[in-house]
Structure 1
Amino acid sequence: MKPSKLQALRIGLGGAILVAVVVLTGIVYERIGQYRAALDFPPPGKMVDIGGRSVQLSCQGSGVPTVVFEAGLSVDGSLSWSAVQGRIAAHTRACAYSRPGLMWSDPSDAAPDGKRVATELHATLINAGEHGPFVLVGQSLGGLYVMSFTRYFGREVVGLVLVDPSHPEQVERVAGLMTESRSMLSRIGVAFAWFGILRAAAPVLLPQAPHQSERDAQAIRAYAPKSLSTQLAESDSTNRTLAEARAFRDLGSRPLVVLTAMAPYTTAELRGMKITPEQGKQVQAIWKQLHEDLATWSSRSRHQLLANSGHNIQFDDPDAVVDAVVSVVNTVRTDRRPESP
């Protein structure tokens, strides 16, 4: 028996009310989450004004040179370095920050690329009263960002540590084995972040890393809806960043350490890259070759392979990162020490 027009109208109206209630509940859930994030997880360090926008910067310790950490393509911001920053601060000044749009930092109104990141980081440091000489530490895509910083502000850079860094030619070198893919689910999640979807899924999307505190993991999840949107924008700009990085590969005699993750890819990683275990071995061999090339960009470099570490070396093997940074700091200090008469 067909429902009457009145019954159909009631069903339609009931469905619309249900959708409205669900949407309103999602909006309220997200707004409460934003409020709780700001209340429960205030920014470490301080917020630095760089021209009407604030960037979070956390500096610890004292000494020269100042170590500056640059995170990779992640949502962790300054917390990417939580397992190593304090240990470096026992030796010298150590600063970590959250790029605009990540964690506590206000978003930028410009498309992300190497020059923009370098300029905004430099403004953050100077406006906070932090001055060189700097030793730059960059992980993954952050490796190219610190190369851009060196290109534009090279007089202030005295050494670098590249932690499983990206390479300007990485896309074409692995094109025959795999292609970059950006999940449609990620885009959908970011598009509906206002509805609370990303906040609800954050514990699954962002598991706690090794050597990461539970509180840091909770803070990262609390700011995930905002940070994931920025991460996606940076991911979309990766090809531009890689192209820009081709223009500068000369670090002169600055001490340089390149750390390469060589742990075999996990099943989940292979699935995410859509490659076979054999292809994974080939990709890893290419990655090693690219890092060997990176090590030639300075006349004083060391290339270290880490057999048991994955891509996030700062969490998988923080000792290796600390040792590399301290070695560069000590080399810089030796270089700056006046010769005996």
Structure 2
Amino acid sequence: MKIAKWLKRIGMLLLLIVILVLMTGFIFEEISRSKAEKIHPDGQLEEVDNHKMHYLRKGTGGPTVVFETAFDPAGHLQWYHIQQNLPQTFTTFSYDRSGILWSERGTNAKTGEKIAEELHTLLENSKVPKPYILVGHSFGGMLTRFFVKKYPEEVAGVVLVDSQYPADEKYLSPELYTMVNQGLPVGFLKFANTFGAARLMFSNMFPATAQYQYQNSLMPALLYKSADATLEEQDQMKSIKTEAAKINSFGSVPLFVITAGDQTRYNSFIKDQKIKNEILTAWDKMQKDLLNLSTDSRQIIAEKSGHYINQDQPEIIADAVNDMVKKITAK
């Protein structure tokens, strides 16, 4: 009887502690959001389909290098350091997709076609010079297909950075396909975002070096703005991949395919050597297949990089961009 009474008291105490922690987290999150609302955008805002979208523009003159981010709540911040170091003799343009960082969500569906249309309107309204060179990382690389299909006459070149391959079921076993496409835990992350845990989880999203100090200060502060839209993109991922797989040619548009080459990049989270070998082999085949998108294509291996080449070896992306600019301006 006494044991049951003590267990009940301990249970009540634990419940009170949990409630106190959640209340503290919720208050912390609300205060942090209030402070974040006072942070001024580092770029400009432009009206697109009755909502404002944020972009960061550097340099002058054409062509315009347009950066498309991965499935990532950091938006344009993933390209920030690269933009700072590229020449100012041509225009570079990074942006936040609707609902990410400083871009308002708007009402358009999160489809590949609508994302391309919004980007095109943003480019038109911001009056950057044509033609465009599209640089897309991972999910962003897959999204470039929709832009090229809809506005082929405005695209002068494409640089894919360890791009996602939409028909990955062709190269993955059913078990591995399920593993790599399982996605983020939506319910948990929404809960964590409400009670302040998410900003702690993403506090070191970028390398802890001086080069990324700006991104590391902004990312956790503004995460709450990006979380819902990022998860919404995940909800639409399957249908976007299905539609992207149907777009299998860029014609003769020059294409560079930058591929991660670090053979140890999965070691930290995949222990089974057989699975590691399978995914490395499959990714290599998918990256080589991307070369078939254009009759004028070249692969570049980033030997020391994992998936985030823009952090591991940003100089390789910068060199590819410079080479692409030279290639299309020499015509």
| Structure-1-length-normalised TM-score | 0.86
Aligned residues: 324
Show the counterpart of 1:34. Answer: 33
Structure 1 residues 274-289: aligned runs within 5 Å: 276-289=272-285
Unaligned stretches of 5+ residues in structure 1: 3-7, 336-341
Instruction: Kindly state the Cα deviation for residue 131 of structure 1 after the two structures are TM-superposed.
Output: 4.0
Q: 1:149 aligns with which of 136, 147, 150?
A: 147
Are the equivalent residues in 2 in contact too, given 1:270–1:280 (CA < 8 A)? no
CA RMSD of aligned residues (A): 2.7
Give the counterpart letter for 1:59 in structure 2.
R
**Per-residue CA shift, 1:7-66, capped at 9, x if unaligned?**
x9xx98x99987776554333311211122233x42111011113311110000012111
Q: Distance in 2 between matches of 1:30 and 1:224?
A: 11
Instruction: Kindly state the Cα deviation for residue 134 of structure 1 after the two structures are TM-superposed.
Output: 0.4
1:171/1:231 CA distance change after superposition, 3 Å? farther
Indicate whether 1:324 and 2:320 are aligned: yes
1:251/1:182 CA distance change after superposition, 3 Å? closer
Indicate whether 1:196 and 2:190 are aligned: no
Are the equivalent residues in 1 in contact too, given 2:206–2:215 (CA < 8 A)? no
Show the counterpart of 1:162. Answer: 160
1:280/1:34 CA distance change after superposition, 3 Å? same
Show the counterpart of 1:236. Answer: 235
Give the counterpart letter for 2:258 in structure 1.
L
Indicate whether 1:80 and 2:72 are aligned: no
Q: Which runs of 4+ in 1 moved over 6 A?
A: 14-20
Q: 1:292 aligns with which of 281, 284, 288?
A: 288
Are the equivalent residues in 1 in contact too, given 2:266–2:276 (CA < 8 A)? no
Q: Distance in 2 between matches of 1:91 and 1:281?
A: 43
Are the equivalent residues in 2 in contact too, given 1:75–1:224 (CA < 8 A)? yes
Show the counterpart of 2:5. Answer: none
Q: Distance in 1 between matches of 2:87 and 2:239?
A: 34
Are the equivalent residues in 1 in contact too, given 2:49–2:106 (CA < 8 A)? no
Show the counterpart of 1:270. Answer: 269
1:223/1:289 CA distance change after superposition, 3 Å? same
**Per-residue CA shift, 1:199-233, capped at 9, x if unaligned?**
233326x3536784212111011112232322222
Q: Distance in 1 between matches of 2:125 and 2:301?
A: 37
1:115/1:269 CA distance change after superposition, 3 Å? farther
Are the equivalent residues in 2 in contact too, given 1:76–1:103 (CA < 8 A)? yes
Show the counterpart of 1:181. Answer: 182
Are the equivalent residues in 2 in contact too, given 1:254–1:298 (CA < 8 A)? yes
Q: SS at the partner of 2:128?
A: coil
Q: Distance in 1 between matches of 2:209 and 2:305?
A: 11
1:196/1:120 CA distance change after superposition, 3 Å? same
1:316/1:91 CA distance change after superposition, 3 Å? farther
Identify which range, 157-166 or 239-248, moves more after superposition. 239-248
Indicate whether 1:118 and 2:119 are aligned: no
Unaligned stretches of 5+ residues in structure 2: 3-7
Q: Distance in 1 between matches of 2:121 and 2:208?
A: 30
Q: Distance in 1 between matches of 2:14 and 2:280?
A: 52
| Structure-2-length-normalised TM-score | 0.88
Q: SS at the partner of 2:214?
A: helix
Q: SS at the partner of 2:183?
A: coil
1:23/1:128 CA distance change after superposition, 3 Å? same
Show the counterpart of 1:339. Answer: none
